[in-house]
A and B are shown apart, each in its own frame.
Chain A
Amino acid sequence: MSTLEIKDLHVSIETDQGTKDILKGVSLTINSGEIHAIMGPNGSGKSTLASTIAGHPRYEVTKGEILLDGEDVLEMGPDERAQAGLFLAMQYPVEVPGVTMTNFLRTAKTAIDGEAPKLRTWTKEVKQAMETLRIDADFANRNVNEGFSGGEKKRVEILQLELFKPKFAVLDETDSGLDIDALRVVSEGVNRAHQENNMGTLLITHYTRILNYIKPSFVHVFVDGKVAEQGGPELADELEANGYDRFLASAAASV
């Protein structure tokens, strides 16, 4: 049983117009086996939270803490965070020139586990996971994400999620740009990782569509860099019916 705690997190970025505060005091606690959905309008800071947890250098934490089982995550580099059991499925997975998927997956797995996976079982495991996610076998020989379509990139993110077996995964708008079949395949992958590894999940999304496949036990509404409201799955239904207007109105009123 592991716990990921986010306490009063304040994050800013440097822009051409100067420093911009994005997160303004976010607190969340996720335990193993829990699925938390974070919903909210564009620009509310959802993706900033995801990138900050993964350790993207662009985001500066000005206040607050992120703790994984009591360990200070903010002191760790991005590689150490992944080794500690955090995983970010990116909204825009990066194309890496010159590195084949096969080589990448094996190198990452070795770094995360601290030892090289046994070649024969590993090759089989990768092949099976690719089949289940309906990723063409040919992808193994292609460079990481190079020339993949948006949907293919998302499947490959989930492939890594299944192979690396993190304690906690942050899915940053994994559903965007997916057709209905791909959405189902990807959701099944997340659910498998959830069941088999007791993974804790932070699911970031605009839409409730993915929540038909991945059932959250907690829903947090993000507005203007803060959690505006928390609840159970029924909160997602309400958002589906009424949108974010009432949150935006109150945020505007408080300015």
Chain B
Amino acid sequence: MTETPEKVAGVEVGQRRISIPGFTEEGENLAAETNSAADHSHGGLGKPKEVTAGAGSRANRHTGFDLAHFPEPTGREEEWRFTPLKKLAGVLSDTPTQGAGTDQEAVNYQVSGTVEGVEVSSLGHGDAPRGDVLQPADRAAVVGYRNAERALHLKVTQNTEVAEPIRVDITGRAAGARANGHIVIEAEPHSRAVVVLEHRGSADFNGNVEVKVGDGATVSLISLQRWEDDAVHVGQHDAEVGKDATYKHVAVTLGGSTVRLNTNFRYAAEGATAQMYGLYFADAGQHIEHRTFVDHNSPRNSSDVLYKGALQGATARSVWVGDVLIRKEAEGTDSYEKNQNLVLTDGARADSVPNLEIETGLIEGAGHASSTGRFDDNHLFYLMSRGIPEDIARQLVVRGFLNEIVQKIEVPSIRESLADDLERELRISGH
């Protein structure tokens, strides 16, 4: 598998650090070029729908809480063009599923036992800090916001260091029943915590998550999508990262028929480190979509985005759209984003679209990369000619490929269970 360095307006941006000749104070908006030219589609069948709206700078994308500003998508919008909208009818509708009870009942929440220094409560509409960090950026997020009556509020108080991960188990009770959820995580200054959201069962789940990372705090949010095959999940996970704070968001998507997660970061001040990691395994019939957006809206912060996915099965589908915006005021930014896909069988399709917009030349670094490799008969023959049976050869390749993300998860029990999950995934299509 080889990296494909991208050239945008003659500037090589595929490397860890770029140097842009003659590029100093003024900056340059590369959005137009990246949006039109850098459509990194690799491998597989089908054609993305044409873009008719929404293209352009990420800075101009509308956000807000008013549903009227977000009409039902047609599938031609930039942010919806890869998504199978038919599957999302439930989560895009502003009314609950008939006969499925209220939105709260379709999903069961279980928060792990009481921990000293962690306050668990719920927030109604208008209760601060609900809505402070979340900036709904599409219709699903607004629908979710409006229809989630109570939001789960987890607060890690100042200077508290939580040793064990705080777990929230989110379990869907019925396929096709719409559920809207909202979780507000507040890490006060200099606190330290790992939060695990584990999604299981069946539902049409629309889940917003907002995370306020206080100054000097260290927070990891691990979102596991282990849905049943008939589940639908859309969600927007927003974070505002405070001064000198460290935030890590890990999305692991294995289950569900359609999963679309938008993960967005922005910064409150300077000196913060923010990481977005993702791991996904798409089988036949699955659509797994991750959209990441790092908004470098203030100076001297760093970000690192890495999503890796494997695809197996004739109709397996994955989408990664990674936006990084380095605003004019974000001098001293250091950012990098990368997506890698491994296509295991014919007919699977991985779309990978990195978009990098740089409005100032006074940065430490900015880069993006995307590659999609195939595990083909030659790889298989090579490994088998060394005595390795076919099923083990496939496991070896997939595990090895995804291990880079697995290692970023600091909870040992999750790392171990992922190894089992991947083994199961590989067995699904009969290999």
Chain A residues with a Cβ under 8 A of chain B: 54-57, 77-79, 81-83, 88, 90, 93-100, 103-104, 107-108, 111-112, 143-144, 146, 160, 164
Nearest 3 A-B pairs (CB), nearest first?
A98-B401, A82-B387, A97-B1
| Chain A proximity mask over B251-279: 1 for CB below 8 Å, otherwise 0 | 00000000000000000000000000000
At the interface, yes or no: B386 with Cβ under 8 Å from chain A? yes
8 A Cβ contacts from B370-390 to A: 373, 375, 377-379, 381-390
Given contacts A77-B384, A97-B397, 16 further A-B contacts (CB under 8 A): A57-B377, A78-B385, A81-B385, A93-B382, A94-B379, A96-B379, A96-B383, A97-B1, A97-B375, A97-B379, A98-B401, A103-B400, A104-B383, A111-B392, A144-B382, A160-B386
Asked if B396 and A94 sit within 8 Å, CB to CB, the answer is no
Given contacts A103-B400, A107-B392, A111-B392, contact A97 B373 (CB under 8 A): yes
B179 at the interface (CB under 8 A from A): no
Interface residues on B, range: 20 to 34
A54 to B397, CA, bound (A): 21
- Give the chain B neighbours of A146 by CB distance below 8 A: 1
Q: Nearest residue in B to A54 (C-beta to C-beta)?
A: B385
Q: With the chains together, A88 CA to B398 CA distance in Å?
A: 24
Indicate if the CB atoms of A111 and B396 lie closer than 8 Å. Answer: no
Q: How far is the CB of B224 from chain A (nearest CB, A)?
A: 22
- Residues of B1-50 whose CB lies within 8 A of A: 1
Whether A98 pairs with B385 at a CB distance below 8 angstroms is: no
CB <8 Å contact, B375 and A79:
no
Q: Which residues from chain B sit less than 8 Å from chain A, CB to CB?
A: 1, 342, 373, 375, 377-379, 381-390, 392, 396-403
| Contact status A55-B385, CB under 8 Å | yes
Asked if B373 contacts A104 (CB within 8 A), the reply is no
Q: Are A96 and B382 in contact (CB under 8 A)?
A: yes
Report B42 CB to chain A, min CB distance, Å: 14
Cα–Cα, bound, A123→B396 (Å) = 19
Query: Which residues of B have CB within 8 Å of A103?
Result: 396, 400
Tell me, in angstroms, the Cα distance from A17 to B99 when the chains sit together: 63
What is the bound-complex CA distance between A55 and B342, given in angstroms? 25
Tell me whether B401 and A97 are in contact (CB under 8 A): yes
Measured CA separation A81–B387 after assembly (Å): 7
Task: Decide yes or no: A56 and B400 within 8 Å by CB, A79-B390, A97-B373 being known contacts.
Answer: no
A78: chain B residues within 8 A (beta carbon)? 381, 384-385
Given contacts A57-B377, A111-B389, contact A96 B397 (CB under 8 A): yes
Q: Which residues of B contact A55 (CB under 8 A)?
A: 384-385
- Rounded to whole angstroms, the CA-CA distance of A104 and B389 in the bound complex is 12
Q: CA–CA, A189 to B389, complex, Å?
A: 27
Task: Please give the distance in Å from A113's CB to the nearest CB on chain B.
Answer: 9
Residues of A within 8 A of B377 (CB): 57
Contact in complex: A94, B382 (CB < 8 Å): yes
Q: A55–B380 Cα gap in the complex (Å)?
A: 12
Tell me the minimal C-beta distance from B374 to chain A in angstroms: 9
A84 smallest CB distance to B (angstroms): 9
A104 touches B396 (CB 8 A): yes
Assess the B381–A57 pair: CB atoms within 8 A: yes
A164 engages B1 (CB within 8 Å) = no
Q: Which residue of B lies closest to A79 (CB)?
A: B384
- Is the pair B388, A108 in contact by a Cβ cutoff of 8 Å? yes
CB-based contact A99/B378 at 8 Å: no
A193 to chain B, nearest CB (A): 15
Q: Is the CB of B387 within 8 A of A108?
A: yes
Cβ A82 vs Cβ B401 within 8 A: no
Given A98-B398, A99-B396, answer yes or no on A107-B382 (Cβ-Cβ < 8 Å): no
Docked pose: A21 CA to B390 CA in angstroms: 28
Residue of B nearest to A160 (CB): B386
Contact residues in B for A79 (Cβ distance below 8 Å)? 384-385, 387-390
Kindly state the separation between the CA atoms of A213 and B239 in the bound complex, as whole angstroms: 65
Contacts of A77 in B (CB 8 A): 384, 390
In the complex, chain A residues whose CB is within 8 Å of the CB of B403: 98
Closest to A86 in B: B385
Partner of A164, one of B373, B386, B392, B397: B386
Closest to B374 in A: A97
Q: Which residues of B contact A54 (CB under 8 A)?
A: 385
Residues in A neighbouring B378, C-beta threshold 8 A: 94
Question: Which residues of chain A are near B398, meaning CB under 8 Å?
Answer: 98
- Write the nearest CB–CB distance from B408 to chain A, whole angstroms: 16
Q: Are A98 and B400 in contact (CB under 8 A)?
A: yes
Measured between beta carbons, the chain A residues less than 8 angstroms from B399 are 98
Docked Cα-Cα span, A164 to B399, in Å, equals: 23
With A94-B378, A103-B400 given, is the CB distance from A111 to B386 under 8 Å? yes
Chain A residue with the shortest CB-CB distance to B404: A98
A57–B384 alpha-carbon span in the complex (Å): 11
